[in-house]
Amino acid sequence: MILDSKIPAGPLAEKWTKHKFNMKLVNPANKRKYDVIVVGTGLAGASAAASLAELGYNVKAFCFQDSPRRAHSIAAQGGINAAKNYQNDGDSVFRLFYDTIKGGDYRAREGNVYRLAEVSVNIIDQCVAQGVPFAREYGGLLANRSFGGAQVSRTFYARGQTGQQLLLGAYSALSRQVANGKVKLYPRTEMMDVVKIDGHARGIVTRNLITGAIEKHAAHAVLLCTGGYGNVFFLSTNAMGSNVTAAWRAHKRGAYFANPCYTQIHPTCIPVSGDHQSKLTLMSESLRNDGRVWVPSTVEMAEKLRKGQIKANDIPENERDYYLERKYPSFGNLVPRDVASRNAKYVCDEGRGVNETGEAVFLDFRDAIKRDGEDTIRARYGNLFDMYQQITGENPYQVPMMIYPAVHYTMGGLWVDYNLSTTIPGLYALGEANFSDHGANRLGASALMQGLADGYFVIPYTVGDYLAQIGPSPVNADHPEFDKSIQEVKDRIQKLLSIKGSKTVDYFHKKLGKIMWNECGMARTAEGLKQAKADIKALREEFWKDVKVLGENEELNQSLEKAHRVADFLELGELMIDDAFNREESCGGHFREEYQTPEGEALRDDENFAYVAAWKYLGEGQEEELHKEPLEFENVKLTQRSYK
């Protein structure tokens, strides 16, 4: 298959406008004849479901949580980007586009990224109209703050709970359509498979997580808005329920999976405290606006700190190394996440880590509190400081926070074209579930932007174009392909329940996570990836022989839920290793130690690797097939990224 990105011709700034005009429309009276399934009700899913229902389509929305309000989008804290230029500090749509392309280390499509920057300004207006309580300046304008990878202030925020407030806005729009009868909501329901008829996606098979009932649902189009796959690492900032299953089952039905090795390590997380942990806690990147990152200047001083002989506040100013400010004077503490994360790893590898394990650096607000006062800092970040104190028992107003990088966001995902269509006609992927807008590293505050852009402003046009072309012929779930898929799902469930092994699902998940973190985390090597591939193969074989899944299907069974998800993670982990091994360069969050500049920065190979890696599933036990979508840069110059 030739990967056709369907990027419209013409000048960058005119592509989306012309494309919208050239797409076919469904007239208002006909929209009620079409059914659309939306899987996932986070920002991308809730906004898409609400928007499509508002247009008149019949929507079924599915989530495995008990309420859409529990979607992981709620955990995004710091803000949402938009090129409003309220500060008059030099921002523009083109600058947001450029910062995003550069921040992703030149591994994203220009057309998609420019559209994202273009519609960003509309997102803010939409959310304000919904009542999202963005922070405001004294004069009434919405406030902005800075985020990594930008030298302008373009991040809109609601204290330290932006994701929660945006999700409540989208949820209110969704609830309105539920009340109107245009959206039927299916909570506590997990997608188990995509059903294809004559090559087109025509529905899904689900499992009711309360009763275990396997059910089928037909539609003219299916939208996957199911988030990322960061939990393949076991410990991540993702909610524990976050998984890859919906995207992975679509992949096994023919949807190509793109750039799986591009995972983002967030530099500002509470460090790991022990093997008892099941997830990690993110401290918002917004904290780097006022917090200064540092470690002791010498290993000797760091050792005293780790042994408890001295405290952080005992270390004089001249013995503190503000290493991001020293190395990157133009951006300082607001370098992109991959750069900040790698540098934290470097100083800790040198022996200058500040906690007992040696894997932490300080994020210090002493100077900001002296400058602006504690009340001002409390107004900006109060809930984040409270959360930190509850988890660690330390007061960050009085002592520096301790932070360390952790797995956060996945830039890879299902391959989609400009219309957000996967390689299966009628199957779309939105938000973090697709690969499209961030390249090899996502800039902070761009996840919320992409999720809402896809749901509110892109998919209503592009799915309409597809529906207009296929026509409103009724679809139903009586087709034999639905029954075939249901039987395959039941067989898989029975297989998992019948193993009756000796090891828990979590045992396998933790082992997989350690392999992935050690060999495919912040740094990768050819040797380590080869070993990881063999280790995961062996672990997968052991899983299907010795996993212990308790209970039965016809009940609430979280052991079975986890088993499905971990089985998919084991397969995905292998593909991530293949992708990382194949990409013999460093770019963004993909750091191959063999390919770096003398200063330790990522060293790209544009001649050989300026492409999207899209992987095709060929069948059980077979190696996946790599397809390449070349990336063309007509509006930005490919240069070595520098934030100095």
Residues 306 and 225 both lie in one domain: no
* pLDDT value of residue 613: 98
Both 513 and 600 in one domain: the answer is yes
* DSSP structure class, residue 211: T
Cα torsion for 588, 591, 595, 596, to the nearest 10°?
70
Domain assignment of residue 178, yes or no:
yes
The reply to whether 28 falls in a domain is: no
Q: At 221, is the secondary structure helix, strand, or coil?
A: strand
Q: Are residues 446 and 357 in the same domain?
A: no
Each residue of 624-634: pLDDT tens digit?
Answer: 999 999 999 99
Catalytic position from the list 107, 337, 442, 641:
337
End position of a domain, from candidates 432, 448, 470: 470
CATH of the domain at 381: 3.90.700.10
Distance CA 469, CA 210 (A): 38
Nearest CA-CA partner of 333 in 367, 304, 359: 367
pLDDT at 1 over 80: no
Measured between alpha carbons, how far is 341 from 360 in angstroms, rounded to an integer? 11
Q: Please check whether residue 631 lies inside any domain of the structure.
A: no
What integer pLDDT is reported at residue 277 of this predicted model? Answer: 85
Asked whether residue 116 falls in the same domain as residue 174, the answer is yes
Whole-structure pTM value: 0.97
Would residue 625 count as lying in a domain?
no
The mean-pLDDT minimum among 134-148, 417-431, 449-463 falls in 134-148
Helix axes 480-499, 526-546, angle to 10 degrees: 90
Please state, in angstroms and rounded to a whole number, the distance separating the CA atoms of residues 407 and 238.
Answer: 8
Task: Count CA atoms within 13 Å of residue 586 on its CB side.
Answer: 23
Mind listing the pLDDT tens digit for each residue in 338-366?
999 999 999 999 999 999 999 999 999 99
Question: Do residues 610 and 106 lie in contact, with contact meaning Cβ atoms separated by under 8 Å?
Answer: yes
Q: Provide the pLDDT for residue 274.
A: 77
Q: Which residue has the higher pLDDT, 642 or 155?
A: 155
pLDDT at 276 exceeding the cut of 90: no
Residue 354 domain flag: yes
Q: How far apart are CA 520 and CA 524, in angstroms?
A: 5
What are residue 595's phi and psi, to 5 degrees? -125, 90
- Is the pLDDT reported for residue 259 higher than 80? yes
Across residues 257-268, what is the average pLDDT?
96
Domain final position from 407, 439, 462? 407
Percentage of the chain modeled with pLDDT above 90: 97
Which range of residues forms the domain containing residue 281?
266-407
Tell me, yes or no, whether 3 lies in a domain. Answer: no
Do residue 379 and residue 286 come from a single domain?
Answer: yes
Total domain count, the chain: 3
21 lies in a domain? no
Distance from C-alpha of 591 to C-alpha of 181, rounded to nearest angstrom: 49
Phi and psi based region of residue 619 (left: phi greater than 0; alpha: psi -120 to 50; beta: remaining): left
Check whether residue 50 and residue 190 sit in a common domain: yes
Residues 6+ apart with CB under 8 A from 619: none
Q: In whole angstroms, what is the distance from residue 604 CA to residue 591 CA?
A: 10
Q: Is there a single domain that holds both residue 287 and residue 402? A: yes
Tokens, residue 466: 């597809």
d(CA 587, CA 577): 16
Q: What is the CATH number of the domain that holds 501?
A: 1.20.58.100
In angstroms, the CA 2 to CA 499 distance is 41
- Checking if the pLDDT of 2 tops 90, the result is no
337 a catalytic residue: yes
Same domain, 518 and 466: no
Query: What are the pLDDT digits (tens) for 187-243?
Result: 999 999 999 999 999 999 999 999 999 999 999 999 999 999 999 999 999 999 999
Q: Which of 354, 372, 407 is the last residue of a domain?
A: 407
Residues 245 and 174 occupy one common structural domain: yes
pLDDT at 11: 97
Read off the DSSP letter of residue 270. Answer: P
| Of 158-162, 218-222, 253-257, 373-377, the least confident | 158-162
At residue 295, the pLDDT reads 98
Output the domain CATH number for residue 139.
Answer: 3.50.50.60
Is residue 10, in this structure, part of any structural domain at all?
A: no
pLDDT of residue 77: 87
CA–CA gap between residue 211 and residue 552 (Å, rounded):
10
Same domain, 134 and 230: yes
The reply to whether 371 and 248 lie within a common domain is no
One domain for residues 449 and 517: no
Give residue-wise pLDDT tens across range 368-399: 999 999 999 999 999 999 999 999 999 999 99
Tokens standing for residue 376: 């001002």
